[in-house]
Structure 1
């Protein structure tokens, strides 16, 4: 639950994230559109990461919001096919094997998904 030292910003409705389906892209900071994050639902939980592959820094999705590979078990980098565990962002296969996507703290409440950041 958010407290006075944490800011929460809604990024989407909970039902916009189907299990193992299309994800939602969002700006990490509303005033600066250059760095993107994404959220997906896997194993019932919302997981969010910076949309940047640790290998070359390219965005993961091959089409906007398409982050999962065909079976819906792993996140996949569209550039080199690296596979990441959706819950942890850990790369299990590909050129960045052993690296991890940068996580983003999220909270789901009242039918909404929020990203959380420390208040400055």
Structure 2
């Protein structure tokens, strides 16, 4: 079993890869690892008039990604996003929660609009 530090390091590498993937898709990364009293947001990205609060999940096996995100985690990200949205989004912007699922040897799965608020 991996230690907490090893899992944390892998998660950070996953977040770095996710940021590069989003940049290649035309997104600008506004912030990484934003901590709020309600939780943490892995990435905040903008493309045009859309601001995405992105939850990144990294797993060693692609099969494990199917169970990496659930409604509880999405609600935590949404609560954290609500706490800081005013810093990153303008009134006319679309704000959404996205999920990026990553595993070695597989293309990232970008779940846009996993939760719209």
Normalising by structure 1, we get a TM-score of 0.28
Structure with the bigger RCO (C-alpha within 8 Å, sep 6+) is 1
More helix by share: 2
Normalising by structure 2, we get a TM-score of 0.28
